[in-house]
A and B are shown apart, each in its own frame.
Chain A
């Protein structure tokens, strides 16, 4: 931890900084404890989950968590050490994925549908989820998040968050079904369960990114991107389990494929951005606003607000979607779309409004910083480059021109230069607002890197 530097950090006296990593470690420890407890309880008590699958699941989660940690940290190391760490991370994640596949082969619902059906349904959900992640990452027009973190967020949503909620939801659901009157009261209780437990489990990923990867978590736009990525990961896993479950229930009546197909359409097409992606993006929005607020009270209120909006959105869908029944006719297809639009549409519209305002806020400030950097005469950003860097279309045009001149190599070099210049503008913005605890040398290093890249581009 850097306590004092010369030249000084933007906010060397930050009182929040020392506790950040401590909070992250405490949350990570709680997550691991919850997963251990969940697996042991599943192993001992749940007949519906094969015992071995539960323990394999725990091991898979541990391997993927460790692998992704090494992967993320690898990029902060020098080139020589990076390769070694990347290989380690790949081996661990690969082992984890293999074990995870074993789990979904035998896990609750796939047990009856069979591993082939489960694998086919998982494959059917890959292109749509990948498209969702591509779109979500592209939303950050000014300063895109690294793919590795977006994928880590999605993996958390798919594997860790779903594992975290299994036991909590089992206990809540079981006790509610044993004590409450079936009907709207029970439905409301189960909707509270899904809203609270699932949003907390998904939101933990965004909280950890906020605490640990502060350099890649700049503002509300980044928060929305990470939150939506976690939601898309969760939606992927939930889609696979619902599809296999419905397939196994309706296959003997020869409706299995149709039931699974409708489920795929509802979750992977119609609800791709409307459901989990929207809810968890609100958690990210809250954390993103907190990232730039200065007072502890305002930070806390922003974070709590994000969670409250996510929980209420999730709750309202689970509790009240049944108030809009649809007929088993052609008109029913229209009703399904209308229901999603009416129930989740307002939440998605509110999120889009926040996103657009965030993009505008970020874009204007980055342009301001680019102009200041250009005026400083450092050579990192030239006055002529400011309007190009401020416009995604013009940046793309500049890269394509480089492609025409020097092929893919030229395209990539210009791309790296633009990214480094945008990184510098972002660093300047945070330093001006006193919301970074990295020393001034970090900004100087970015400036040196931009100038170095500019030499490469010129040479090409």
Chain B
């Protein structure tokens, strides 16, 4: 075995180690990002009371019928939140996320007292579409700290059927 040949393999091996070092840096940045947006010790113990998710009439801006977890595509729906269940010294918001993680409806941020005038949080139909997209929707009431959501105070899921 020649020394040149051995060095070539060593070069490949060391190059791989250098790339692996960069990989560790990338994964560490990812971990830091995770900790920044999910800081430990952010449990306030507060639970937001979500009264339910109901069919929503956009013309009257009111809800119809019982609390449901499944909707047809041509039905609009809204979550009803009891803002009084949350202490007024917190900054909060409420959002609907579709199955792609896009925000499809929001109120806040603000204090529960300020949001009391908006107990309904409807899902909005994306621009250019006739109905909401099918899939699983997640509704969250979030507590904010320095403008960043740090804790989920309440959560509901609903499914919009494809047919």
Name A's B-contacting residues (CB within 8 A): 112, 177-178, 180-189, 191-192, 220, 248-250, 252-253, 282, 285-286, 289, 292-293, 298, 301-302, 304-306, 308-309, 311-313, 315-316, 319, 350, 353-354, 357-358, 360-361, 364-365, 368, 432-434
B17 at the interface (CB under 8 A from A): yes
Closest to B35 in A: A185
For the complex formed, measure the closest distance between the CB of B29 and the CB atoms of chain A, giving whole angstroms. Answer: 9
What sequence of 0s and 1s flags, for each residue 122-144 of chain B, a beta carbon within 8 Å of any chain A beta carbon?
A: 00000001110111001010100
Top 10 A-B residue pairs of the complex, sorted by shortest distance between their CB atoms: A185-B37, A305-B20, A312-B23, A185-B38, A312-B26, A188-B34, A308-B23, A309-B23, A361-B8, A184-B37
Name B's A-contacting residues (CB within 8 A): 1-2, 5, 8-9, 11-13, 15-17, 19-20, 22-24, 26-27, 30-31, 33-34, 36-38, 73, 95, 97, 101, 129-131, 133-135, 138, 140, 142, 149-152, 155, 162
29 chain-A/chain-B pairs, Cβ below 8 angstroms: A178-B155, A181-B142, A182-B95, A182-B149, A183-B37, A184-B37, A189-B34, A249-B133, A252-B131, A252-B134, A282-B19, A298-B13, A304-B20, A306-B16, A308-B23, A309-B20, A309-B23, A312-B27, A313-B23, A315-B27, A315-B30, A316-B26, A316-B30, A319-B30, A350-B19, A357-B8, A358-B12, A361-B5, A361-B12
B26 A188 Cβ-Cβ under 8 A? no
Closest to B25 in A: A312
Partner of A182, one of B97, B133, B162: B97
For the complex formed, measure the closest distance between the CB of B141 and the CB atoms of chain A, giving whole angstroms. Answer: 11
Given A181-B151, A311-B23, also A319-B13 (CB < 8 A) = no
A293 B16 Cβ-Cβ under 8 A? no
What are the residues of chain B within 8 A of A316 when measuring CB–CB?
A: 26, 30
For the complex formed, measure the closest distance between the CB of A343 and the CB atoms of chain B, giving whole angstroms. Answer: 11
B34 A286 Cβ-Cβ under 8 A? no
Q: Which of B22, B37, B101 has the most CB of A within 10 A?
A: B37
What are the residues of chain A within 8 A of B13 when measuring CB–CB?
A: 289, 293, 298, 302
A315 B26 Cβ-Cβ under 8 A? yes
B133 A187 Cβ-Cβ under 8 A? no
What are the residues of chain B within 8 A of A357 when measuring CB–CB?
A: 8, 11-12, 15
Closest to B157 in A: A177
Partner of B152, one of A112, A181, A302, A361: A181
For the complex formed, measure the closest distance between the CB of B27 and the CB atoms of chain A, giving whole angstroms. Answer: 5
A188 B37 Cβ-Cβ under 8 A? yes
A302 B26 Cβ-Cβ under 8 A? no
What are the residues of chain B within 8 A of A365 when measuring CB–CB?
A: 5
- Taken together as a complex, chains A and B put the C-alpha atoms of A358 and B13 apart, in Å, by 11
What are the residues of chain A within 8 A of B5 when measuring CB–CB?
A: 361, 364-365, 368, 433
- Taken together as a complex, chains A and B put the C-alpha atoms of A301 and B26 apart, in Å, by 18
- Taken together as a complex, chains A and B put the C-alpha atoms of A433 and B8 apart, in Å, by 13
- Taken together as a complex, chains A and B put the C-alpha atoms of A449 and B126 apart, in Å, by 69
For the complex formed, measure the closest distance between the CB of B33 and the CB atoms of chain A, giving whole angstroms. Answer: 5
- Taken together as a complex, chains A and B put the C-alpha atoms of A184 and B20 apart, in Å, by 24
Closest to A220 in B: B12
What are the residues of chain A within 8 A of B37 when measuring CB–CB?
A: 181, 183-185, 188
What are the residues of chain A within 8 A of B130 when measuring CB–CB?
A: 252-253
- Taken together as a complex, chains A and B put the C-alpha atoms of A434 and B1 apart, in Å, by 9
A183 B129 Cβ-Cβ under 8 A? no
